[in-house]
Structure 1
Amino acid sequence: MHPTDSPAPTLVFREATAEDVDALVELVQSAYRGDDSRAGWTTEADLLDGQRTDPEAVREIVADPSGRLLLAERDGATVACCQLEHRGAHAYFGMFAVRPGLQGGGLGRAVLTEAERFVRATWGVTEMHMTVISVREELIAWYERRGYRRTGRTSPFPYGDERFGVPRREDLEFELLVKELAAPGVSPA
């Protein structure tokens, strides 16, 4: 390393607490809604207006004993997060957000890898589930490159419930994606 080069900041993962709620709401909103989200590639701004989450919803996730809200920090700043929920034989992955200006540099991949490791080690599950808006082809392709498979199983978008946003299209629905995880203590091939 050249003397003027500085090492890349270390990514630190931890479980969110009630003190993190406002920062997490801002992060999730910035990654998915409004003009700020357009700096990244995960924006839903062309599909939905309004909020992606609110403080009450994030507080509920943080307090839920069946799940965790995992956050990633760099130099003390929250740069990414994801929700993990233990659902018996599998875990659910949701509320995945990466700060828009940091997308495309491997941060999302690192968070997803840590989430998969966490659910295997903590809950012993061997399968991860998530739902993605089915018209988000580029995002679904990103998950497929990481081992998730489309199931064709869909569920309706909650039209009329503005807690999840205000749809700009009439054809929104969620598709279930699933990934088989290696058993705890077994490295994936």
Structure 2
Amino acid sequence: METIRQLQIRRATTADVPAVVALVESAYRGESSRAGWTTEADLLEGQRTDPDAVAGMVGAEDGRVLLFERDGALVACCHVQRREGYAYFGMFSVRPDRQGGGIGRAVLAEAERLARQEWTAPELHMTVLVQRPELLSWYERRGYRRTGQRYPFPYGDPRFGLPKRTDLEFELLIKAL
């Protein structure tokens, strides 16, 4: 099992945008994503993100895109954004061939540490597709509470993917820090 001590953590720059987009796409979409357990390939096709969206996150003053590297290779990333009264966690991706070894737990722990210690956020929020019960359970085991508050998937906006189902929606999860 890998730990945070074995990973180098740094803030993404605009030069990292193509690598971040490639990592996110590989973790969630297409056949390559099926090597891991976070795939959304049965729910969505098309893109998960794009260079413009990632560049916007990288350049934003209210957040950080964190990169996790091992031996110089990008293995994981996430986006943490400071919001009014809480922090938001998203774009969480681990290389499919590295999933299940503890990297995800380390990424989540670092995002929580950043939000709690550097921003003094009382809570970390995220949204997860309700059609992903195994992912919801993973977050619950790490102290996240399902709120029952749901948001519709942005159907008709190909920037977020091309749905294979008509019932997709997100649920808000919250963890007190």
TM-score bin, normalised by smaller chain: over 0.9
CA RMSD of aligned residues (A): 0.8
User: Of the two, which has the highest radius of gyration?
Assistant: 1
C-alpha separation between the residues in 1 aligned to 2:142 and 2:162?
30
Q: 1:22-48 CA deviation, whole Å, 9 max, x = no partner?
A: 000000000000000000000000000
Unaligned runs of 5+ in 2: none
In the TM superposition, structure 1's runs of 4+ consecutive aligned residues that sit over 3 Å from their partners are none
Correspondence list, 1:34-183, <5 A? 34-181=30-177
Contact 1:71/1:80 (<8 A) preserved: yes
Mapped to 2, the partners of 1:89 and 1:74 lie a distance apart of 33
Shift of the alpha carbon at 1:151? 0.2
Question: Match of 1:118, as an amino acid?
Answer: L
Equivalent position SS for 2:64: strand
1:157-178 Cα offsets, whole Å, 9 max, x none, are 0000000000000000010000
TM-score relative to the length of structure 1? 0.90
Letter in 1 for 2:69: E
How much has 1:126 moved relative to structure 2?
1.6
TM-score, normalisation: structure 2: 0.96
Letter in 2 for 1:11: L
What CA distance in whole angstroms lies between the structure 1 residues aligned with 2:10 and 2:116? 16
Shift of 1:127: 0.3
Q: Distance in 2 between matches of 1:160 and 1:142?
A: 29
* Equivalent residue number for residue 16 of structure 1: 12
Aligned equivalents of 1:90, 1:101: Cα separation in 2? 32
Shift of 1:10: 2.2
Matched residue SS, 2:114 = helix
Give the superposition deviation at 1:180.
0.4
Asked whether the 8 Å contact 1:10–1:75 carries over to 2, the reply is: no
Structure 1, unaligned runs of 5 or more:
1-8, 182-189
Percent of aligned positions that are identical = 65
